[in-house]
Chain A
Amino acid sequence: EAGVVQSPRYKIIEKKQPVAFWCNPISGHNTLYWYLQNLGQGPELLIRYENEEAVDDSQLPKDRFSAERLKGVDSTLKIQPAELGDSAVYLCASSGPGHHNEQFFGPGTRLTVL
């Protein structure tokens, strides 16, 4: 079974440029998460989708961040414009139905903003 797929794995951009990250969850997983992981810290939730609906986006900085999951499968997270402080690893995870199911994580996208 394929795991959570993310691309690109690494991205280097200059500040004020836009950037987008893509995630394809495990087949059949209706819940998709985007996390931000700063160096030396645990992941912090940015947004959670149940199918195509964003059910928790309270931690998403909506002035510059946006996300979509149009068909309830793969998802895109966008930053426009990027700032120096956005340099981090962006993790995508998915889980099956049920509140206690574990989340499966992708390898992440390491973003460096110069």
Chain B
Amino acid sequence: AQSVAQPEDQVNVAEGNPLTVKCTYSVSGNPYLFWYVQYPNRGLQFLLKYITGDNLVKGSYGFEAEFNKSQTSFHLKKPSALVSDSALYFCAVRDGGNTPLVFGKGTRLSVIA
């Protein structure tokens, strides 16, 4: 069965500094990996996905994520954080088959001006 771990409940970063939100996964087959962001009282918004191809995936709002197969990780990154990036971030995985998407517990990102 697939699973996702987001080891940090909270990440604090100063505005303008680079940010990283960590995610590791476990699947039996080839992973399909996703990042979503959730703002207060809103649904989840899709940021980016890795299906196959280049290990560095670029997504919305300047975010990117790097797929590392040997470390089974898919960390979310942004070169320069904005206060408006403060939100709850979820990593999710499904294997190559028609299986449900499994979400991590989420990491709350706080960008301080």
CB within 8 Å of B: which residues of A?
4, 6, 40-45, 48, 56, 91, 93, 99-100, 102-108, 110
Contact with A43, one of B32, B42, B44, B98 (Cβ below 8 angstroms): B44
The distance from the CB of A35 to the nearest CB of chain B, in whole angstroms, is: 8
> Which of A42, A48, A56, A100 has its CB near the most chain B CB atoms (within 10 A)?
A42
CA gap between A56 and B84 in the complex, in Å: 36
- Assuming A99-B32, A102-B34, is B106 touching A42 (CB within 8 A)? yes
Residues of B within 8 A of A4 (CB): 43
Say whether A56 contacts B100, CB under 8 Å: yes
| Interface residues in B10-36 (C-beta closer than 8 Å to A) | 32, 34, 36
Say whether A99 contacts B97, CB under 8 Å: yes
> Which of A56, A91, A93, A102 has its CB near the most chain B CB atoms (within 10 A)?
A102
CA gap between A6 and B98 in the complex, in Å: 25
CA gap between A12 and B101 in the complex, in Å: 29
The distance from the CB of A18 to the nearest CB of chain B, in whole angstroms, is: 24
- Assuming A40-B105, A42-B106, A100-B51, is B100 touching A105 (CB within 8 A)? no
Say whether A104 contacts B46, CB under 8 Å: yes
B31-53 Cβ-contact flags toward A at 8 Å (1 or 0): 01010100001111110010100
